[in-house]
Structure 1
Amino acid sequence: MPNKEPSLCDEKVFNDFFRKHYESITRYIYYKCGDLQQAEDIVQNIFVKIWNLCEKIIYSKAKSYIYSACNNLLINQIAHKKVVLKHQKTVTDNSNHESPDFLLEQEEFRIKLKQAINDLNFKEREVFLLSRIEGKTYKEIAEITGLTVKAIERRMSKALKELREKLGNHIKI
Structure 2
Amino acid sequence: MSKPLKDNICEERLFSTIFRTYSKDLHDFLYYKFGSKFNPQDKMQEAFVKLWENCAKVPQHKAKSFLFTTANNMMLNAYAHQKVVWRHEQIKPKYSTNINPEFILEEKQYKARLERAIAKLTEAQRVAFLMNRVEGKRFKEIAQLLDISTKAVEKRIYGALKKLRKDIEEL
Task: Tell me if both proteins adopt one fold, taking TM over 0.5 as the criterion.
Answer: yes
Runs of 5+ unmatched residues, structure 2: none
Residues 36-70 of structure 1, C-alpha deviation per residue, up to 9 Å, x if partnerless? 77101011011101101111112222212211111
Q: 2: distance between equivalents of 1:128 and 1:2?
A: 50
TM-score using structure 2 length: 0.82
Pick the structure with more helix per residue: 1
Which residue is equivalent to 2:44? Answer: 43
**Distance in 2, Cα, partners of 1:146 & 1:59:** 25
Partner of 2:162: 161
Structure 1: distance between partners of 2:130 and 2:6: 36
CA deviation digits over 1:55-91, x for unaligned, max 9?
A: 111222221221111111111111112222322333x
Q: Distance in 2 between matches of 1:2 and 1:135?
A: 56
What corresponds to 2:93 in structure 1? Answer: 93
Residues 38, 78 of structure 2: 8 Å contact kept: no
Gaps of 5+ in 1: none
Normalising by structure 1, what TM-score?
A: 0.81
Distance across 2 between alignment mates of 1:98 and 1:30: 46
Tell me what 1:63 maps to.
Answer: 64
Tell me which moved more, 8-17 or 97-106: 97-106
Find the counterpart in structure 1 of residue 76 from structure 2: 75
- Conserved in 2, the CA contact under 8 Å of 1:76 and 1:129? no
TM-fit CA distance, 1:94: 3.9
Equivalent-residue separation in structure 1 for 2:40 and 2:95 (angstroms): 35
Q: Deviations over 1:119-172 (max 9, x none)?
A: 11233223323333344444454455454443333222211110111123x63x
How many Å separate the matches in 2 of 1:4 and 1:158?
A: 44
Bigger radius of gyration among the two: 2
Instruction: Tell me the matched-pair count.
Output: 169
Cα root mean square deviation, aligned: 2.6
User: Percent identical across equivalent pairs?
Assistant: 34
